[in-house]
């Protein structure tokens, strides 16, 4: 099997019936890029920038961030790099921000909510990203977007910082795609409206599942409810992908589900364009996809959407031969 995967390293990810999908990697630091390239990643689909802010006693400066973003963009040599703006809060804390304890951190002051309040922190990150944008193919993504208003506010700050840099004579790329994570059910439901304003979606199933099922992703006692294959999740994923395609946008997924070999046949059938996963999952996923017909998986997905339980969906997928 190893030998087959090695052969797949330099190939594109194509289904048995010739449809290309993009297999990308999730990274946390510039050092992770080597693994992406080793494993034949076609892009970085999620750069979690939290690690720049963690494990230190104060906020990272604009230059520290600029260097990290530039390094990743350069190492990826023009391949797409989706950088997610700061997603702190929930399970990830920053002691030096001294935020009050919350009763429900996963439902609280986190990610873009914090960034739209602490615009000083957000603007610094946006400037670092804009300055780095000329070194590769940068895509910017906002996490935990719940409303169109939040997206518009975040986008306005980005455009303001862009104008400021240009006015100061600093070069900024004109081809930065701007997208959002779809990880809150309200945003999945409203995806048709979001699709008119964003360049892409990346479905964050790690959070989307916990918010849809109302089951804390860290709590073992309710983990039986954390069901990626529940038809409710598949229906939301379909809504997001269909909404994107209707407006000519692309839809990816960067939650764990994107690299899950049971989910991949369904996601291919639902029309997902980009799958972002841990680097080590890329070659197995590419191998699997090469054995699947997208047309057949569309039929499989249509059946799955009409099933009643997650168990039935798993049974359905196990029935295919790949």
Per the annotation, where are the binding residues?
A: 48, 84, 183, 206-207, 217
Among 45, 60, 204, 252, binds Mg ion (CB under 5 A): 204
Taking CA atoms, 216 is separated from 91, 109, 188, 203, 219, in Å, by: 11, 16, 19, 18, 5
CB of 137 to Mg ion, least distance (A): 23
Out of 76, 182, 254, 272, the active site residue is 254
Which structure tokens are listed for 77? 């040599």
Q: Which of the choices ligand PEP, Mg ion, none does residue 65 contact, using the CB cut-off of 5 to 8 A by kind?
A: none
Answer yes or no: are the C-beta atoms of 110 and 88 closer than 8 Å.
yes
Q: Is 236 in the site for ligand PEP (CB under 6 A)?
A: no
> Interface with ligand PEP includes 183 (CB under 6 A)?
yes
- Is 32 a binder of Mg ion (CB under 5 A)? no
CB 82 within 8 A of CB 44: yes
Q: What is the SS3 assignment for 8?
A: helix
Return the residue of 255, 259, 265, 271 that touches ligand PEP, per CB under 6 A: 255
| Residue 254 a catalytic site member | yes
Annotated binding site for Mg(2+): 183, 207
Instruction: Give the largest CA-CA distance in the chain.
Output: 60
Q: Is 278 in the site for ligand PEP (CB under 6 A)?
A: no
Q: How far is CA 201 from CA 125, 182, 205, in A?
A: 21, 6, 12
Binding residues for phosphoenolpyruvate: 48, 84, 206-207, 217
Q: Which of 129, 130, 254, 289 binds ligand PEP (CB under 6 A)?
A: 254
**Residue 259 near ligand PEP by CB under 6 A:** no
The verdict on 32 binding ligand PEP (CB under 6 A) reads no
- Tokens standing for residue 184: 């809150």
Task: Encode 134-168: b = buried (16+ Cβ within 10 Å), e = exposed.
Answer: ebbbbbbbbbbbbebebbebbbebbeebbeebeee
Q: Does 259 bind Mg ion (CB under 5 A)?
A: no
Per-residue x/- mask for Mg ion, residues 150 to 189, rule CB under 5 A? ---------------------------------x------
Nearer to ligand PEP, 122 or 211 (CB): 211
Q: Is 145 left (phi over 0), alpha (psi -120 to 50) or beta?
A: beta
Angle 237-23-135 from CA coordinates, rounded to 5°: 110
**Phi then psi for 182, rounded to 5 degrees?**
-105, 100
Which does residue 205 bind out of Mg ion, ligand PEP, none, counting CB within 5 to 8 angstroms by kind? ligand PEP
Q: Where are the beta strands (DSSP E) in 223-272?
A: 250-253
**Residue with smaller CB distance to Mg ion, 129 or 181:** 181
> Do 110 and 89 meet the contact criterion of CB atoms below 8 Å apart?
yes
Q: Which two tokens stand for residue 163?
A: 């104008």
Residue 256 or 273: the one with the smaller Cβ distance to Mg ion is: 256
Residue 60 lies near Mg ion (rule: CB under 5 A): no
Residues designated as active site = 254
Query: Contact residues for ligand PEP (CB under 6 A)?
Result: 46, 48, 87, 183, 204-207, 254-255
């Amino acid at each position: 099997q190893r030998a087959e995967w090695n052969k797949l390293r330099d190939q594109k990810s194509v289904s048995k019936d010739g449809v290309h999908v993009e297999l990308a990697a999730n990274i946390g630091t510039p050092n992770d890029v080597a693994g992406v390239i080793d494993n034949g990643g076609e892009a970085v689909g999620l750069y979690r920038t939290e690690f720049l802010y963690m494990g230190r006693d104060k906020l990272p400066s604009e230059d520290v961030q600029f260097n990290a973003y530039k390094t990743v963009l350069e190492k990826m040599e023009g391949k797409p790099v989706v950088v997610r703006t700061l997603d702190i809060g929930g399970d990830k804390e920053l002691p030096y921000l001294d935020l009050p304890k919350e009763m429900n951190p996963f439902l609280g002051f986190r990610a873009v909510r914090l960034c739209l309040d602490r615009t000083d922190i957000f603007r610094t990150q946006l400037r670092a990203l804009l300055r780095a944008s000329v070194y590769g193919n940068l895509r910017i993504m906002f996490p935990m977007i719940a409303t169109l208003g939040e997206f518009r506010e975040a986008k306005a700050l980005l455009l303001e910082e862009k104008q400021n840099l240009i006015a100061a004579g600093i070069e900024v790329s004109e081809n930065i795609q701007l997208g959002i994570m779809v990880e809150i059910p309200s945003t999945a439901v409203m995806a048709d409206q979001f699709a008119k304003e964003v360049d892409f979606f990346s479905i964050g199933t790690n959070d989307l599942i916990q918010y849809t099922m109302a089951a804390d992703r860290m709590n073992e006692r309710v983990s039986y409810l954390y069901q990626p294959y529940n038809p409710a999740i598949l229906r939301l994923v379909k809504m997001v992908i269909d909404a994107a395609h209707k407006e000519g946008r692309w839809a990816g997924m960067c939650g764990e589900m994107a690299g899950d070999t049971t989910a991949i046949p369904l996601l291919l059938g639902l029309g997902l364009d980009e799958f972002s996963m841990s680097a080590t999952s890329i070659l197995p996923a590419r191998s699997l996809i090469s054995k699947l017909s997208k047309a057949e998986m569309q039929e499989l997905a249509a059946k799955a959407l009409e099933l009643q339980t997650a168990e039935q969906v798993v049974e359905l997928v196990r029935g295919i031969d790949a």
